[in-house]
A = this chain, B = another copy of it.
Amino acid sequence: MMSEFYDTLTQFLAIPGPVEMHPKVYEAMNHHLYGHRTEHFRQIYLDCVEKFKPTINTSQDVYFLAGSGSLGLHAAITNLVSPNDTVINLVNGKFGERVEKITSRFTKNSHSVKVDYGQGITPEMVKEALDAHPDTSLVTITHNETSTGVLNPLPEISKIVHDHGALLMADCITSAGGDLVEMDKWKIDFFVSGSQKCYGLPPGLAFIAFSETATEKMKQVSRNQDFYSDMLMYKDKLSKAPDTPFTPAVGLIYGLQASLELILEEGMENRIKRHRLMGQAYRSALEALGIQLFAQEGFRSNTVTSAVVPESVDAKKMIDTCKKFGILVASGQGTMKGKIWRVGHMNMVGPREILMITSVVELALKQCGANINLGDGTRAALETLNKAY
């Protein structure tokens, strides 16, 4: 029996964030820190604002808040919702539920469109909910639901929402930077993302951008609901010095600059193609092994794949076995614990990583008693890659 080799520091991050980072990002974050109220830092910050825009196809300014992605979701609701506003939350996973929770703190008039975990939300469902609540001023959507691996049809839903005259808040935490997000064309009024997913940084930054319509709405919303995430303050400060209202996370901003440079160097089009192909290669492997994908066909994420743990396999043991072979994968969350496992394929996951993840996952499945033909998964991934390259 071989002893275990991989320690905490050498686990490969195949969880859906934090993810593996490029060496240049580590390097940039280790630069000697500089004061944030300086011309030097302002230039770096503004450079990040400009370089971020093409990653989500927007002409709006982008704000980098010191905080997690959840701060961004919190900011969306507190800035866009007054205590009597009607809000519809589209919910098909743990992160949709998080937005639902936040919304209930700021208004009593929140309603949810809920579907089973693993299922996608359709424009028809949204239309029906809006018809039932015609005074709705805001609809929230989780673009890529990290807990289930479902990609919701954001552009189609946005059209319905805007036809109704409501605003749309989109949680793009695990889509932006890896999959396609067209903020302006899709008319996203309030965009939220986070640093530790497809943008390839450590956790600690929330990314926010919003439309003119959202700005107008914010001006009408009660300002005494929040302080730290008052986006009009951020907007005001950025339009002046430029500055941030509070101390920005200087080291992370250095990292962000490096990461955005790498992203633009690869090119968003190539980057999206790569993320989609890696998802496809991994899914082809699971299907070749006879493993059931958890997300409904037609709604499958390009950055996170969830799959059903076979009945003969203990989920925890299987995840621990992946860890024994050096790959950190994620379990299901809440009621999905023990039923599914999840693999993130973001940022630094290219052909060699997807082959490594695939082969370790099938080895772990085999070692945990799954009835699979060892090697069939990786062969399918190899064939998918061989066709694409």
Contacts and interface: CB of A to CB of B under 8 A. Distances in A.
A363 B385 contact: yes
Nearest to A356: B356
Of all A-B residue pairs in the complex, the 6 with the closest CB atoms, nearest first, are A375-B379, A356-B356, A355-B359, A326-B352, A5-B350, A3-B270
A202 to B, nearest CB: 14
Copy tally for this chain in the complex stands at: 2
Contacts of A383: 374-375
Contact of A379 (B3, B10, B277, B379): B379
Interface in A333-389: 348, 350-353, 355-356, 359-360, 362-363, 366-367, 374-376, 378-383, 385-386, 388-389
Contacts of A326: 350-353
A33 interface: no
A389 B376 CA distance: 20
Contact residues of A: prevailing secondary structure: helix
Interface of A: 1-3, 5-6, 9-10, 12, 22-24, 266-267, 270, 273-274, 277, 324-327, 348, 350-353, 355-356, 359-360, 362-363, 366-367, 374-376, 378-383, 385-386, 388-389
Contact of A355 (B22, B360, B376): B360
A182 B64 CA distance: 57
A370 to B, nearest CB: 12
A380 to B, nearest CB: 8
Contacts of A10: 22-23, 348
A382 B363 contact: yes
A384 to B, nearest CB: 11
